[in-house]
Structure 1
């Protein structure tokens, strides 16, 4: 019995190592795209160190790969050049916010507004930050000021909708998102946010419709694909759920939650293939489930649910041999 346990653990380790090698190579290839962008703008910054736009673009490239310290350096350089100072303050605020340094983010947005009180983007970002800090009324006030400056601004309407949704004021949130669609009927994010509200309300049919519209407009929308996959999984449309999770992971390959849900979907497929002696389709679905949970462990090594499911599936697989 002990020998079987050791063998199972060894096989689990081998499977995970193989997955690491395969997906590590895929991650390397994806990173080459961003590396090219960083290389491009680094070269421009070297050639034009006194211009703010190249530093701003290089900072944005670093931000895309979550290298926030490097992004900060470039935005600070853009600020020193004296060109695009307001955008530099807002970019610094955004970056500090992503790093969890909310006080510094607040300071940057305030500096932008001290110089230009009519900077509606700084107002919108400040409103979003205040909402994160639980200062909802102040957040709404900032967004309303932004909308007075720039009526119909889609970002302001979206943030306001999010504030209302988080407060549980779903009817007000729905109204804001529908305003966005009146202005921009092809706004995928507004469709997604409406889907999210109806999903939380348990109105599955409406949620499916809005998620589908978001995906129609943005076929690689990872959150919409993943959430629609969850609905399909709950309603027995397992094969469709699998495809949606896979599409979501093509865009967000490190999303451990979507990956875990894909593993569950493969398990459900295995169950659907029959309850009698294990057939080839069941074995394949179980193998894919194990591989998927292995990928979860690469991202979250201490995810006990994924580890337990791997052990359970490997025990079932061994017992069927």
Structure 2
């Protein structure tokens, strides 16, 4: 088995030290191959050593400026640091270099959404739901973004997909309830708030939504 493949298997098992060793050997054997540097950086990121990880990603980019995975990995580090503008730049570069994965579209959309630019985020999040068809989180974030831009009918479709793929997604249930509230379907909204509270009894927003609707019913 190739040392990179071996290292990736070890990472999946959470064996970080052994994975790092496999990637270090891969780097020794092929010092001009950016892949091992990216993989080694991913191990460092996973154990929280992001500063050193960034050096490995940069090394990979120096070896091959068209290594899209290096930009994607850098983007994830920036995103976790809540540096959304830098993250967006990295995911855009990864896309430009050919990384047309659902994850990259999703992270690019999320960076824009966190920069409060829902309108620009929409097409990327939409593309992520096409590529990650059964990913509840992708549909959820796309639905949220649609709701922010007042596309309530479309938001309902996306949020219903999120709940279909993950029936215990309390935030999706809650936001779907809010969307039905907008459509003045109080019964449906109440049912969804109750479902959100079943999944997560301390869901404050769902509790608040439920109280509001029940208060209206009592008048």
Shorter-chain TM range is 0.7 to 0.9
CA RMSD of aligned residues (A): 3.4
User: Which residue in the other structure is 1:90 paired with?
Assistant: 8
In structure 1, C-alpha distance between the alignment counterparts of 2:80 and 2:210, rounded to whole Å? 38
User: Which residue in the other structure is 1:233 paired with?
Assistant: 147
In structure 2, C-alpha distance between the alignment counterparts of 1:304 and 1:215, rounded to whole Å? 26
**Superimposed CA distance per residue, residues 45-98 of structure 1 (whole angstroms, 9 cap, x where no aligned partner):** xxxxxxxxxxxxxxxxxxxxxxxxxxxxxxxxxxxxxx56653343122321xx
Superposition TM-score, scaled by structure 2 size: 0.75
In structure 2, C-alpha distance between the alignment counterparts of 1:196 and 1:310, rounded to whole Å? 26
Residue correspondence of structure 1 range 202-213 to structure 2 within 5 A: 202-213=116-127
Q: Which runs of 5+ in 2 are unaligned?
A: none
Matching residue within 170, 175, 189 for 2:89: 175
Q: CA deviation at 1:244?
A: 0.9
In structure 1, C-alpha distance between the alignment counterparts of 2:61 and 2:119, rounded to whole Å? 33
In structure 2, C-alpha distance between the alignment counterparts of 1:313 and 1:168, rounded to whole Å? 34
| 1:290 matches 2:194 | yes
Q: Which runs of 5+ in 1 are unaligned?
A: 1-82, 97-103, 274-280
In structure 1, C-alpha distance between the alignment counterparts of 2:149 and 2:82, rounded to whole Å? 26
| 1:128 matches 2:42 | yes
In structure 1, C-alpha distance between the alignment counterparts of 2:92 and 2:4, rounded to whole Å? 31
In structure 2, C-alpha distance between the alignment counterparts of 1:185 and 1:134, rounded to whole Å? 25
**Superimposed CA distance per residue, residues 210-263 of structure 1 (whole angstroms, 9 cap, x where no aligned partner):** 222333454445333212211333344333322211112333444333333334
Q: CA deviation at 1:195?
A: 1.5
User: Which residue in the other structure is 2:211 paired with?
Assistant: 312
**Superimposed CA distance per residue, residues 178-236 of structure 1 (whole angstroms, 9 cap, x where no aligned partner):** 22222327433333222112111112221223222333454445333212211333344
In structure 2, C-alpha distance between the alignment counterparts of 1:260 and 1:192, rounded to whole Å? 22
Matching residue within 158, 178, 182 for 1:244: 158
**Superimposed CA distance per residue, residues 14-33 of structure 1 (whole angstroms, 9 cap, x where no aligned partner):** xxxxxxxxxxxxxxxxxxxx
In structure 2, C-alpha distance between the alignment counterparts of 1:147 and 1:163, rounded to whole Å? 15
Aligned residues: 215
Contact map agreement 1:290 1:313 (CA 8 A) in 2: no
Contact map agreement 1:170 1:197 (CA 8 A) in 2: yes
Q: Higher Cα Rg: structure 1 or 2?
A: 1
Q: CA deviation at 1:171?
A: 4.6
DSSP-derived class of the 1:198 partner: helix
